[in-house]
């Protein structure tokens, strides 16, 4: 294998990871608070969950395409790619935050309220710690999916390991396709293992 | 003696259904009043009105002479201990953290909380060195309920509320805890409101029994008077005591 390919793999892997990390950070920052909010406002639930569901049903290539003409967040490049990846990652995190918090034992919640916890104390001391494992599971699913989906970012000039894959498809060169697909798969496996470990560690405390 | 808790024509309704009908009852400092009744008689609803988990639809409930609606909801709840059948211990906290929670919320310092937790564990019959650092899942049902009682006593509340706290325990453990309850009452002299459907438990623990039927108060009487009561609902409950195994 020539050294040019190796250094390009390294470069695009870093780019890929950057896309994933930025997208996940934004998705978590949006979906966890939104999930908490809809545990408090049942009337908003169908709307918020519906939006996230619809986003997930749009085929990923089409979603990237749809965003190109959108002003401010659209266009060609990384920003658009990140927007699309965030929209994709929302649903699992949102759903698991909602389910995790609503799943806290009613007797535990009633005790907390009856002991004079404020709404904030109930959230931080009881609901979030007890829902943490479920929320982490959602983040794990979203991360692994995002690592795969991020390969499509190359289609709209977002860079990352997808660059190899699209180039390989265009030139019918399976070495190029593998140079993109294998590192992406490895990252996904590593992320899955690492987040799974965090999840189990948390479960051990309960 | 002054009334620590007072129901004044307190009613509670959900839609058309009247769960509690104009309850008037006052509970004096230091006494244990047992609210006795069948399922759906409104006894739990009445209990939840004391610490502001529910508010009356009409009438009012006074704690320390002040209507629950005028209390700061958090302050009111922290002054009142609450023990429920499902116990509701925090599974991610140790026994010591569970018991020390309200003192901690109240801003006690660490040493004082630790001493308090150890003293309370001893008082509910659990050896501190053995139980303080355990998690709720490592306890038996009876031990959990002891922790639940210790937790309710932690910040020295003026009133304790018990909602069928021993209902899910086996009869032997239940008797143990009922005796413990009497011992704690002797030692602390706390005011307690105790909900149960078990007439035997009511007779054993109460200074006065308040009998509820379909949301209405039928009778308030000390246990000995209750035994002689001729009311239909009281007789229905007392009949539960009379059943004997017949000789073959």
Structural contact between residues A99 and A134, judged by C-beta atoms closer than 8 angstroms: yes
**Cα–Cα dist B19/B209, whole Å:** 19
Chain B residues contacting A via beta carbons under 8 Å: 51, 53, 73-78, 80, 82, 84, 86-92, 101-102, 105, 151
Q: Which residues of A are less than 8 Å from B84 in CB distance?
A: 107, 110-111, 114
Structural contact between residues A168 and A176, judged by C-beta atoms closer than 8 angstroms: yes
Structural contact between residues B113 and B103, judged by C-beta atoms closer than 8 angstroms: yes
pLDDT digits (tens, 9 = 90+) for B16-56: 899 999 999 999 999 999 999 999 899 999 999 999 999 99
Q: What is the pLDDT of residue A1?
A: 55
Alpha helix segments (H runs only) across B14-167: 43-50, 73-79, 95-99, 101-105, 110-123, 128-131, 141-153
Structure tokens at B103: 């003192």
Query: Does an H or E element contain B100, and which?
Result: none
- In angstroms and rounded to an integer, the radius of gyration of the C-alpha atoms of chain B is 18
Sign, CA torsion B223/B228/B233/B235: positive
- Residues in A 117-176 with any Cβ partner in B closer than 8 A: 117-118, 121, 125-126, 129-130
Sign, CA torsion A35/A39/A44/A49: positive
Which residue is associated with the tokens 């996904």?
A188
Give this complex's ipTM: 0.87
pLDDT digits (tens, 9 = 90+) for B75-121: 999 999 999 988 899 999 999 999 999 999 999 999 999 999 999 99
**Cα–Cα dist B83/B194, whole Å:** 9
The tens place of each residue's pLDDT in chain A, 206 residues long, gives 577 888 999 999 999 999 999 999 999 999 999 999 999 999 999 999 999 888 888 888 888 888 888 887 878 888 999 999 999 999 999 999 999 999 999 999 999 999 999 999 999 999 999 999 999 999 999 999 999 999 999 988 889 999 999 999 999 999 999 999 999 999 999 999 999 999 988 876 66
**Cα–Cα dist B197/B42, whole Å:** 11
Angle in degrees, CA B233, B235, B240, rounded to 5: 105
How far off is chain A from B148, nearest CA to CA, in Å? 10
Pairing of strands B80-84, B58-63: unpaired
Stated pTM of the model: 0.86
Q: Shortest CB distance from B92 goes to which of A116, A118, A205?
A: A205
Structural contact between residues B103 and B154, judged by C-beta atoms closer than 8 angstroms: yes
pLDDT band at B244 (very low <50, low <70, confident <90, very high): low
Sheet holding B208-213, edge to edge: B80-84, B159-163, B191-196, B32-37, B208-213, B216-221
């Amino acid at each position: 294998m020539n050294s040019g390919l190796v250094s390009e793999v390294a470069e695009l892997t870093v780019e890929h990871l950057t896309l994933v990390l930025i997208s996940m950070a934004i998705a978590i920052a949006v979906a966890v608070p939104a999930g908490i909010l809809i545990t408090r406002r049942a009337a908003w639930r169908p709307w918020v969950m519906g939006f996230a569901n619809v986003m997930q049903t749009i085929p990923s290539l089409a979603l990237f395409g749809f965003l190109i003409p959108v002003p401010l967040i659209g266009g060609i490049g990384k920003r658009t790619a990140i927007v699309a990846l965030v929209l994709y990652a929302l649903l699992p995190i949102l759903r698991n935050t909602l389910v995790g918090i609503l799943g806290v034992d009613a007797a535990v919640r009633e005790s907390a309220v009856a002991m004079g916890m404020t709404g904030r104390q109930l959230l931080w001391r009881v609901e979030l710690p007890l829902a943490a494992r479920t929320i982490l599971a959602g983040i794990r699913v979203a991360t692994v999916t995002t690592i795969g989906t991020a390969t499509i970012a190359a289609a709209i000039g977002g860079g990352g390991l997808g660059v190899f894959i699209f180039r390989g498809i265009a030139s019918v060169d399976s070495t190029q396709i593998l140079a993109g697909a294998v590192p992406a798969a490895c990252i996904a496996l590593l992320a899955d293992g690492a987040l799974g470990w965090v999840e189990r560690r948390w479960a051990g405390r309960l | 003696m002054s009334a620590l808790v007072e129901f004044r024509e307190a009613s509670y309704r959900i839609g058309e259904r009247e769960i509690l009908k104009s309850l008037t009852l006052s509970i004096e400092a230091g006494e244990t009043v047992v609210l006795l009744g069948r399922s759906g008689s409104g006894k739990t609803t009445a209990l939840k009105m004391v610490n502001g988990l529910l508010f009356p639809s009409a009438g009012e409930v006074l704690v320390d002479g002040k209507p629950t609606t005028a209390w700061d909801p958090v302050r009111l709840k922290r002054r009142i201990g609450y023990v429920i059948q499902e116990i509701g211990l925090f599974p991610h906290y140790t026994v010591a953290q569970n018991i020390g929670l309200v003192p901690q919320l109240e801003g006690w310092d660490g040493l004082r909380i630790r001493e308090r937790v150890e003293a309370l564990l001893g008082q509910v019959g659990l050896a501190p060195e053995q139980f303080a650092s355990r998690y709720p899942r490592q306890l038996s049902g009876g031990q959990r309920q002891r922790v639940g009682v210790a937790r309710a006593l932690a910040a020295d509340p003026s009133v304790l509320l018990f909602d069928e706290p021993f209902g899910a325990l086996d009869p032997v453990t239940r008797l143990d805890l009922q005796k413990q309850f009497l011992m704690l009452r002797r030692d602390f002299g706390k005011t307690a409101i105790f909900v149960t459907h078990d007439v035997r438990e009511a007779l054993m623990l109460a200074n006065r029994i308040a009998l509820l039927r379909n949301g209405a108060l039928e009778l308030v009487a000390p246990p000995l008077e209750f035994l002689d009561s001729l009311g239909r609902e009281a007789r229905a409950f007392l009949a539960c005591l009379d059943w004997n195994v017949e000789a073959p």
